[in-house]
Amino acid sequence: MTSPRPLDTHLYHHPGLSPREVEVLLAWIKADTKQQVTRALYISLGTVNTHLARIREKYETAGRSAPTKAALVARALQDGMITLDDL
């Protein structure tokens, strides 16, 4: 059996997320609720929602729609922000 190949992330158009957007995205991926994100990052629910909306807009602009949490997980995996072991 061969080892899995690393994902060729250069094949994807990166959305240009800011470091804070990446932090919020990863917290959201690992959380069960947005309220958990608010507590973990000491930000309001409105701020979480604003970050997630901007993240989705950036992915849409990059031609990689991510309208659901599952799609955001897929994009984070594709972009090398997380691995399956992180989930």
pLDDT value of position 3: 47
For residues 13-22, average pLDDT: 92
Q: Is 63 left (phi over 0), alpha (psi -120 to 50) or beta?
A: left
User: Using one digit for the tens of pLDDT, what is the confidence trace for 41-83?
Assistant: 999 999 999 999 999 999 999 999 999 999 999 999 999 999 9
What's 80's DSSP letter?
A: T
More confident residue, 1 or 70: 70
Say if residue 20's pLDDT is above 80.
yes
